[in-house]
Structure 1
Amino acid sequence: MEDIKLENLWNDFNRKVEEASILNMQAWMVNLETFTHLQQFKVKTILNSVARFKTWAVLLGIVLVLLLGFLVYADHLRNPFFTISMGMIMLFSILAIIVYLRQVIQIRRIDLSNSVTDTLQRLSALQASTIHIYRVLFLQMPFYCTWFWTPAWIQEKAGAFWLTAFPVTLGFTLLSIWLFRNITPQNMEKKWFRILFGSKEWTYIIKATHEVEEIERFKNK
């Protein structure tokens, strides 16, 4: 009789433990779902802000390209330094417009209802694209130093040209090459990198990535 009573008590205890486990699991699932929705809302808000930033950059880039095109046309190739410099800056601007448009499309295609892994892969691709276009755009720096050169100025003011204008242009050329080679994901934590990438175009992408990673960390608790 006592054995039966003890067995009943044991079964009752196991049942209560199972019920408690189920309740805990249900509570955890509710918390996870709530946390996931909150994080997804944060990420969506951040990415929308980045998309708007890039859209405005595209519009301003189009205006810049039109202005540069007009200036090159108005010069009628009278000054080769001006024509080449403005033409190269215009080409870099067109490239930036194309890349930014693709990035806006990338952002719009991110479906936060998909797996965390898929979202992180898309954000990683966006980071890589942003780093690459920054690297390329820095290569245009020397052309901002040469657009005002003229053959007559170089001949008449040779001393000033070789002692000031040329060294400055050479310095910016070397700097642009150095930046092109060193702006890489491996240098993301370096101070100079964080200064160059201090705009929300970059910091918001990193923030969105961290918010998505928080979902995965919450799941693994």
Structure 2
Amino acid sequence: MEDAAIIHLWKSYDKKLEESLSLNKKNAEDIMHMKVRSFLASMKPSKIFALLVGIGWVILADIILIGTFHIASPFFLVSAGIQVLLTKLAIGIYLYQLILIQRVDISEPILSTQEKLSRLKSSSLWCARILFLQLPVWTTFYLTPAMLASGNPWLLLLQLAVTTAFFCAAIWLFINIRYSNRHKKWFRAIFQGKEWDPVIKAMALLEQVEEYRR
């Protein structure tokens, strides 16, 4: 009789312990999901600000391009056109990211959230690549055919060197801005703050949740 009572008590204790562990596990997962949501929410103000500034800039640039189309230098028109086009692509990416952030649901499966975070990370990299492609046009928009025809040869050589350097830098960054380079100093210098850190922290938290479940 005593043995049966002890076994019953032991099973009862074991059941309560299992329920307690399950509850603690669920609470830990909920807290981590809330942290993920908080990290992503912290990105929204800076992205909305960048989006509004970008929209204002392209509207102003479009007005200038249209107003000076028949009198401006071809260098200005091409350089400004490329810059505006790339900025519009970046604006589209920012809109896409805001939609992704808004669609993250802390109650959805971890794999679904991880997939959204992966797309957010990838789009952040692409946005940086696109914006860095603007570098060369900032060194050519002020040129005119007359400057090239009758300019100082040394100044023209300096102009060529600067434009070439910016072009090479833009291509190098476009190729090398990859997640695999995230630990390098130059990458960390570019990707830091509200534009990048919350995504990485959120991904790390979800990885912890997945490991905890295992």
Pairing 1:1-221 to 2, within 5 Å after superposition: 8-77=1-70, 78-220=72-214
Give the secondary-structure state (helix, strand or coil) at the position aligned to 2:142: coil
179-188 or 8-17, which deviates more: 8-17
SS in 2 for 1:111: coil
Contact 1:146 1:169 in 2 (8 A): yes
* Alpha-carbon shift at residue 200 of structure 1 (Å): 1.5
TM-score (norm 2): 0.92
Letter in 2 for 1:207: K
1:112 partner SS: coil
CA offset at residue 147 of structure 1?
0.8
Cα deviation code 1:41-74 (max 9, x no counterpart):
2221211121232222111110010111122223
Instruction: Give unpaired runs (5+ residues) of structure 1.
Output: 1-7
Report what 1:5 is aligned to. Answer: none
Contact preservation (8 Å) 2:34, 2:106: no
- Cα drift, residue 13 of structure 1: 2.9
Deviations 1:113-152 (A, max 9, x none): 0111221121111111111221222111101111111222
Q: CA RMSD in A?
A: 1.6
- Distance in 1, matches of 2:20 and 2:164, equals 65
Give 1:160 shift.
Answer: 3.3
Shift of 1:163: 2.3
* Farther off after superposition, 54-63 or 147-156: 147-156
State the TM-score, normalizing by the size of structure 1: 0.89
Larger displacement relative to structure 2 (151-160 or 120-129) = 151-160
Larger radius of gyration: 1
What is the distance in 2 between the residues matched to 1:155 and 1:72? 24
Question: 1:207 Cα deviation (Å)?
Answer: 1.2
Equivalent AA in structure 2 for residue 104 of structure 1: L
* SS of equivalent to 1:67: helix
Paired letter, 2:38: T
| Distance (Å, rounded) in 2 between the aligned partners of 1:10 and 1:191 | 66
1:179 CA displacement? 0.9
Unaligned runs of 5+ in 2: none
**Which amino acid counterpart does residue 135 of structure 1 have in structure 2?**
R
SS at match of 2:42: helix
Q: Is the 8 A contact 2:37 2:104 kept in 1?
A: no
